[in-house]
Amino acid sequence: MTDKPHKIELNTATSIVIANMIGVGVFTSLGFQVLGIESGFAIIMLWVVGGILALCGALTYGEIGSAFPESGGEYNYLSKLYHPSVGFLSGWVSVTVGFAAPIAAAAVALGNYVSKIYPSVNAIYLALIVIALITIIHAITLRAGAAFQRVFTLVKVICIVMFVGFGMFHIPVHTISFAPNKLAWHDIFSPAFAGSLVYVTYAYSGWNAAAYITGEMENPRKNLPTALIFGTLLVTLIYTVLNSIFLYSVPINELKGVLEVGYLSANKIFGVQLGQFMSLIIAVLLVSTISAMILTGPRVIQKMGQDVKGLSFFGRTNKNKVPYVAIIFQSIIAVVCVLTSSFDSLINYVGFTLNLFTLLTVVGVFILRKRFKNQNQGGYKTLFYPITPMLFIAILIWILYNIVINKPTESLMGLGTVLVGLGVYFATEGKRHSKGS
């Protein structure tokens, strides 16, 4: 007699959203933002705009996920709202870029933080070891993986609250203004602001994480919107306050171009020795982020494997119903990214490619309301519709335009990834499983 498959509860789903969001982006991206923005107010507005964008997306995804309560995220939604080919391309991007590259970036950041404190530690080797260990945990059983995720996310939130609390009592040697002065408004309407939003949206990416595991959630029509919205609101508050502390504790000139922003801030707030300990804690916090993405990403590959015969290998599960093949495959791609890619190019490449399909998904809420009127009877409805999705669409188009103009190489790489996926789709077209395809 087999045990009943473990279902993901609301608190675990919310912790997955929080863990996916709070990761490498918030502890590293500020150093790139201050290269073009000098105003404290403008930088905080970056994080506020990013939070509004993420919240608008979460509110919209809540309705779409309530209408189609299955795992797979955009792959599931776009296949139903548009065409299976669009869903396939979204899934392909998730498989090749969406989770593997951020896992690699978080692992490399973890390695860099540790090597700052212990120079004898090889950052790349440590990154590879962390990916391997977490992959093993999640490839065995969902119950153990979910418990691991809840514990590390709780530790993450507690440590960040402590970091912020001590930072508020720190007396800096420099001055920083958060007032909306002339310089601030100039920075907000500058190309640098739009370019910096790429790093901010990367830091906020993960607000849709629970959508990838909907099929394994308890009461998904209710719990999915709740997890997305509550998790996004909490992270927006944390990000805004945390970046205020970074700016308050470290002069902007010292932050420019620095990857380990948290390390610099910790040294200023706590002193060198205790600051190194806090930096080590930040590295440990990134474990939660890596874990969340290793848990959620493979559910997309698994869903594709269930739908497409040519990819059925990825639909395989073990006796605990865990898609171990998909998990291992994703981690292999992450390892390749660790060994071959730079941090800056990864962020822009991932930001452009993923945002294309996020944009299509949010646009899909209009299709849902017109063509699938009976699909979400009694389910969650987007708050402040249609303003919410329209605001999201406007901001995201602005960001995508600036990536194309300022980062053409990364944009072409993103489009190239989509074109390769299109080739794979046509190679497997007509080989879809008969059930529901």
Which tens digit of pLDDT belongs to each residue from 366-385? 999 988 877 767 678 888 88
The residue ranking higher by pLDDT, 44 or 287, is 44
The residue ranking higher by pLDDT, 209 or 49, is 49
pLDDT over 70 at 434, yes or no: no
Residue at token pair 């507690």: 158
Q: What pLDDT, on a 0 to 100 scale, did the predictor assign at position 5?
A: 59
pLDDT over 50 at 343, yes or no: yes
Please state, in angstroms and rounded to a whole number, the distance separating the CA atoms of residues 212 and 297: 7
Mean pLDDT (whole number) for 414-433: 75
Asked whether residue 7 is assigned to any structural domain, the reply reads no
Q: What pLDDT, on a 0 to 100 scale, did the predictor assign at position 161?
A: 82
**387: helix, coil or strand?**
helix
**8: helix, coil or strand?**
strand
Q: Give pLDDT tens digits for 402-418.
A: 878 877 887 888 888 88
CATH number at residue 225: 1.20.1740.10
Mean pLDDT (whole number) for 153-170: 80
- What does the H/E/C string look like for 210-233? HHHHHHHECCHHHHHHHHHHHHHH
Mean pLDDT (whole number) for 416-425: 85
Asked whether residue 8 is assigned to any structural domain, the reply reads no
Q: What pLDDT, on a 0 to 100 scale, did the predictor assign at position 112?
A: 83
Q: Where residue 230 falls among pLDDT bands split at 50, 70, 90? A: confident
Q: What pLDDT, on a 0 to 100 scale, did the predictor assign at position 411?
A: 81
Q: Give pLDDT tens digits for 59-97.
A: 898 889 888 887 777 888 898 899 888 988 888 887 777
Cβ pair 72, 85 in contact under 8 A: no
Asked whether residue 245 is assigned to any structural domain, the reply reads yes
Asked whether residue 32 is assigned to any structural domain, the reply reads yes
Weakest mean pLDDT among 138-142, 291-295, 309-313, 363-367: 309-313
pLDDT over 80 at 285, yes or no: no
Asked whether residue 1 is assigned to any structural domain, the reply reads no
- Number of domains into which the chain is organized: 1
pLDDT over 90 at 427, yes or no: no
Q: Pick the closest to residue 67 from 366, 307, 392, 393 (CA basis).
A: 366
Q: Give pLDDT tens digits for 382-401.
A: 888 899 999 999 988 988 88
Asked whether residue 434 is assigned to any structural domain, the reply reads no
**Residues in Cβ contact with 2 at an 8 Å cutoff, skipping those fewer than 6 apart:** 319
Mean pLDDT (whole number) for 25-45: 83
Q: What pLDDT, on a 0 to 100 scale, did the predictor assign at position 126?
A: 93
The residue ranking higher by pLDDT, 22 or 365, is 365
Weakest mean pLDDT among 213-227, 245-259, 413-427: 213-227
First to last CA, the chain: 32
Asked whether residue 130 is assigned to any structural domain, the reply reads yes
Q: What pLDDT, on a 0 to 100 scale, did the predictor assign at position 128?
A: 93
Buried b (16+ CB within 10 A) or exposed e, 208-226: bbbbbbbbbbeebbebbbb
Mean pLDDT (whole number) for 26-52: 86
Q: What pLDDT, on a 0 to 100 scale, did the predictor assign at position 82?
A: 92
Q: What pLDDT, on a 0 to 100 scale, did the predictor assign at position 437?
A: 39
pLDDT over 90 at 219, yes or no: no
Asked whether residue 164 is assigned to any structural domain, the reply reads yes
Q: What pLDDT, on a 0 to 100 scale, did the predictor assign at position 342?
A: 66
Select the highest-mean-pLDDT range: 6-20, 120-134, 143-157, 188-202. 120-134
Beta pairing partners, 8? 217
Cβ pair 365, 57 in contact under 8 A: no
189: containing domain: 13-428
Cβ pair 201, 20 in contact under 8 A: no
Q: Where residue 140 falls among pLDDT bands split at 50, 70, 90? A: confident
Q: What pLDDT, on a 0 to 100 scale, did the predictor assign at position 391?
A: 94
Mean pLDDT, the chain, integer: 81
